[in-house]
Structure 1
Amino acid sequence: MKKSVVFVIDVLKGFLEKGNLADHRIQKIVPIIKEILNHNPNIFFVCDAHSTNDLEMTQYPVHCLKDTEESKVVEKLNIFVKQDNSNVIYKNTTNSFFHIDKSIYNEYDEFIIVGCCTDICILQFCLTLKVWLNKENIDKKIIVYDNAVETFHNENHNGDMMHRYALELMKNAGIEIKTWE
């Protein structure tokens, strides 16, 4: 029997509710993520927790500063965060791969990735994890549910188009793209 883990990437108040990078359109994935988490006991939340000195702040507006409301998991998913926060991993870059202990990758056979943003943090994590698995000659599944990931939309960033492109790039790299039903 396969042992699966779900990585919930950046489903934070600063991306879904308020802040420089918040977009309410991302909120539509929360009920689907909640359903996925109800079916999987192994869960890690990977959360932006920046300082104003992070290099990422030169590429994006200031967002999700450590210990602020923006860096907290949205209320509807808080029931899945362990009381001691032992299933929360903090990051200060767009690529979660480098912030997750490699022993976690060895412990599970299947990786389910949900959250935001499809074309930034999700894409970078999935592609890096896939390349690392290939490098180590480890045959494990990476699954992205297309209705449990989303990205923002603004005048310089067509959210629907970027979402589709990112999913296609991941699919072409051997990552399974599915729809949660």
Structure 2
Amino acid sequence: MKKSVVFVIDVLKGFLEKGNLADHRIQKIVPIIKEILNHNPNIFFVCDAHSTNDLEMTQYPIHCLKDTEESKVVEKLNIFVKQDNSNVIYKNTTNSFFHIDKSIYSEYDEFIIVGCCTDICILQFCLTLKVWLNKENIDKKIIVYDNAVETFHNENHNGDMMHKYALELMKNAGIEIKTWE
């Protein structure tokens, strides 16, 4: 039997509720993520926790500073965060891969990725994980549920188009794209 793990990427108040990079349209994925988590006991939350000195702050507006409201998991998913925070991984870059202990990749047979943003943090993590698995000659599934990932929309960033393109890039790289039903 396959042992799956769910990585919940950046489902934080700073991306869904308030802050320089918040977009309420991303909130629509929360009920679906909650359902996915109800079916999977192995869960890690990977969360932005920046300092103002992080190089990423030169590319994006200040967001999700460590120990602020913005860097907290949204309330509706908080029930899945362990009391000791042992299933929370903090990151200061857009690519979660480099912040996750490699032993976690060995422990599971299947990786389910949900969260935001489809075309930034989700895309970078999935592609890097896939390339690493290929490099190590490890045949494991990476699954992204298209209705459990989302990205922001503004005048310079067409959210629907970027979401679609990111999913297509991942699919072309051998990542399974499914719809949670």
Normalised-by-shorter TM-score class: over 0.9
Displacement of 1:77 after TM fit? 0.1
Displacement of 1:115 after TM fit? 0.0
SS in 1 for 2:156: coil
In structure 2, C-alpha distance between the alignment counterparts of 1:62 and 1:119, rounded to whole Å = 19
Displacement of 1:146 after TM fit? 0.0
Query: TM-score, structure 1 length as denominator?
Result: 1.00
In structure 2, C-alpha distance between the alignment counterparts of 1:162 and 1:59, rounded to whole Å = 18
CA RMSD of aligned residues (A): 0.1
In structure 2, C-alpha distance between the alignment counterparts of 1:159 and 1:126, rounded to whole Å = 19
Displacement of 1:90 after TM fit? 0.0
TM-superposition CA deviations, 1:123-154 (whole Å, max 9, x none): 00000000000000000000000000000000
Displacement of 1:179 after TM fit? 0.0
TM-superposition CA deviations, 1:53-86 (whole Å, max 9, x none): 0000000000000000000000000000000000
TM-superposition CA deviations, 1:146-178 (whole Å, max 9, x none): 000000000000000000000000000000000
Q: Identity of paired residues, percent? A: 98
In structure 1, C-alpha distance between the alignment counterparts of 2:160 and 2:105, rounded to whole Å = 30
Structure 1 gap ranges (5+): none
SS in 1 for 2:143: strand
SS in 1 for 2:40: coil
SS in 1 for 2:168: helix
In structure 1, C-alpha distance between the alignment counterparts of 2:159 and 2:62, rounded to whole Å = 20
In structure 2, C-alpha distance between the alignment counterparts of 1:66 and 1:78, rounded to whole Å = 17
Provide runs of 4+ in structure 1 moved above 3 Å: none
Count, aligned residues: 181
SS in 1 for 2:60: coil
Matches within 5 A, 1:140-179: 140-179=140-179
SS in 1 for 2:121: helix
In structure 2, C-alpha distance between the alignment counterparts of 1:73 and 1:161, rounded to whole Å = 26
Displacement of 1:113 after TM fit? 0.0
Displacement of 1:16 after TM fit? 0.0
| Residue of structure 2 in register with 1:68 after alignment | 68
| Residue of structure 1 in register with 2:180 after alignment | 180
In structure 2, C-alpha distance between the alignment counterparts of 1:171 and 1:135, rounded to whole Å = 18
In structure 2, C-alpha distance between the alignment counterparts of 1:165 and 1:59, rounded to whole Å = 21
